[in-house]
Amino acid sequence: GDSVTQTEGLVTLTEGLPVMLNCTYQTIYSNPFLFWYVQHLNESPRLLLKSFTDNKRTEHQGFHATLHKSSSSFHLQKSSAQLSDSALYYCALSGNYAQGLTFGLGTRVSVFP
Amino acid sequence: EAGVTQSPRYAVLQEGQAVSFWCDPISGHDTLYWYQQPRDQGPQLLVYFRDEAVIDNSQLPSDRFSAVRPKGTNSTLKIQSAKQGDTATYLCASSPGLLGAEQFFGPGTRLTVL
């Protein structure tokens, strides 16, 4: 079946520094959709950004990610972290028409002043 | 526009008790999903519907869990004879059912089984 791997369980950094969260995936489908969802404390997940197109950068709210099918990766980056970015970040995959999402284990980001 | 609503928000049970969770999706969304999110883990799909039809329930523990969406709108997820391992947040999500469409999540029901 499909799988998503997020290698960092916890990322701690100082406000203003760049952040990168790793995401790799496995799927039998040749044209998957990849998503990043963010979950703040005591809230439900909400979409941060998504991509379907190989090698095209997608941006939203200062975050960006590029889907690379050659390496099955969809890493999330931001050039300057803010205190409000502290949250859980999930990479997720949808391999086929409107199917349920396969989530990674998540990366907790803690940004300190 | 109202988002996905769920009730109850919290439930505490003894092992062996039954519980039902209710979800009202965003109006016009034909696809509805139920996820289980154990503490400090990502959501895991249990079952999803398109209209009233079950599309995939392969991850639903069928001996104790059941889910219905009889009119293709609201949905109920039921656990018979809950176990401590069922302790988790149960999330409902809905989407327009298009390839790559965003799934909108409800606030979840936090279940604790003692």
Residue of chain A minimizing CA distance to B108: A44
Residue B74 backbone dihedrals phi, psi, to 5 degrees: -70, 160
Q: Residue B72 falls within a domain, yes or no? A: yes
Q: Identify the closest residue of chain A to B42 by CA–CA distance.
A: A105
pLDDT of residue B33: 96
Per-residue model confidence as pLDDT tens for chain A (113 residues): 899 999 999 999 999 999 999 999 999 988 899 999 999 998 889 999 999 999 999 999 999 999 999 999 999 999 999 999 999 999 999 987 667 899 999 999 999 99
Residue B67 maps to which CATH number? Answer: 2.60.40.10
* Alpha-carbon gap: A113 to the closest alpha carbon of chain B (Å): 24
How much is the pLDDT for B1? 64
Query: Could you tell me the residue range of the domain that residue B35 belongs to?
Result: 5-109
Judging contacts by C-beta atoms under 8 Å, the chain A residues touching residue B48 are: 99-100
Give residue B99's pLDDT. 75
- Pairing relation of β-strands A107-112 and A10-14? parallel
Q: How far apart are CA B57 and CA B54, in angstroms?
A: 7
Nearest residue in chain A measured CA to CA from B36: A103
Interface test with A, best of B92, B99, B102, B110 (most A CBs within 10 A): B99
Average pLDDT over residues B43-52: 94
Please give the mean pLDDT across all residues of chain B.
93
Q: Tell me if B56 is assigned to some domain.
A: yes
The pLDDT value given to residue B94: 95
Q: Is residue B76 part of a domain?
A: yes
Alpha-carbon span B105 to A92, nearest angstrom:
14
* Confidence label for B81 from pLDDT (cuts 50, 70 and 90): very high
Residue B33 domain-assigned? yes
* B70-106: burial string, b at 16+ Cβ within 10 Å, e else: eeebebebebeebeeebbbbbbbbbbebeebbebbbb
Query: What's the structural domain count of chain B?
Result: 1
A-to-B residue pairs, Cβ atoms closer than 8 angstroms:
54
Does residue B55 lie within any of the structural domains? yes
- Looking at residues B8-30, what average pLDDT do you find? 96
Domains and CATH numbers, chain A: 3-112 (2.60.40.10)
Instruction: Dig out the tokens for A62 from the structure.
Output: 């200062």
Question: Cβ of B56 and A99 within 8 Å?
Answer: yes
